[in-house]
Amino acid sequence: MNPSCNLFIIGPTGAGKTSIGRRLAAHYGLPFVDLDQEIEQHCGVDVSTVFEIEGEAGFRQRESALLDECSQRPGVLLATGAGVVLAEHNRAHLRERGYVVWLQTTIEQQLERLERDHRRPLLAVPNRHERLQAMAQIREPIYRELADLAVPGEHGSVAAASERCIALIDHHWQRQPTAWPRQNA
Ligand SMILES: Nc1ncnc2c1ncn2[C@@H]1O[C@H](COP(=O)(O)OP(=O)(O)O)[C@@H](O)[C@H]1O
Ligand SMILES: O=C(O)C1=C[C@@H](OP(=O)(O)O)[C@@H](O)[C@H](O)C1
Ligand SMILES: [Mg+2]
139 annotated ligand-binding residue: yes
pLDDT at 160: 96
Q: Look at ligand 2, atom 11, and give the residue with the nearest C-alpha.
A: 13
17 is in an annotated binding site: yes
15 known member of a binding site: yes
Which residues make Cβ contacts (< 8 Å) with residue 39, sequence separation at least 6? 47, 50, 59, 62, 63, 66
Whether the predicted pLDDT of 181 surpasses 60: no
The string of pLDDT tens digits covering residues 93-106 is 999 999 999 999 99
Q: Phi first, then psi: what are they for 114, rounded to 5°?
A: -100, 10
Could you tell me the distance, in angstroms and rounded to a whole number, from the CA of residue 18 to the centre of ligand 3? 4
Look at phi and psi of residue 89 and say left if phi exceeds 0, alpha if psi is from -120 to 50, else beta: alpha
Distance of CA 17 from the midpoint of ligand 1 (Å): 7
Determine if residue 120 is labeled as part of a ligand binding site: yes
Q: Is the pLDDT of residue 180 over 80?
A: no
Residue 184 has a pLDDT of 59
Structural domains for the chain: 7-172 (3.40.50.300)
The ipTM (two decimal places) reads 0.97
Distance 11 CA to ligand 3 centre (A): 9
The DSSP result for the chain, as a single string, is --SBS-EEEE-STTSSHHHHHHHHHHHHT--EEEHHHHHHHHHTS-HHHHHHHHHHHHHHHHHHHHHHHHTTSSS-EEE--GGGGGSHHHHHHHHHHSEEEEE---HHHHHHHTTT----GGG-SS-HHHHHHHHHHHHHHHHHHH-SEEE---SS-HHHHHHHHHHHHHHH--BPPSSPPPTT-
Q: Atom 6 of ligand 2 has which residue's CA nearest to it?
A: 81
Quick one: which atom of ligand 1 is closest to the CA of 155?
1
User: Has residue 24 got a pLDDT over 70?
Assistant: yes
Cα(158) to centroid(ligand 2), Å: 19
Tell me the residue type at 5.
C
* Ligand 2: centre distance to CA 83 (Å): 6
Average pLDDT, the chain: 96
Each residue of 141-159: pLDDT tens digit? 999 999 999 999 988 999 9
Mean local confidence (pLDDT), 58-84: 98
- pLDDT value, residue 57: 98
Determine the atom of ligand 2 nearest the C-alpha atom of 35.
Answer: 13
Using 50, 70 and 90 to split pLDDT, how confident is the model at 185? low
Length of the chain: 185
Tens of pLDDT, residue by residue over 112-145, are: 999 999 999 999 999 999 999 999 999 999 999 9
> Of 10-24, 25-39, 110-124, 168-182, which gets the smallest average pLDDT?
168-182
* 83 assigned to a ligand binding site: no
Instruction: Identify the band that residue 183 occupies on the pLDDT scale cut at 50, 70 and 90.
Output: low
pLDDT at 155 (0 to 100): 86
Q: Which ligand is closest to the CA of 113, given by its number?
A: 1
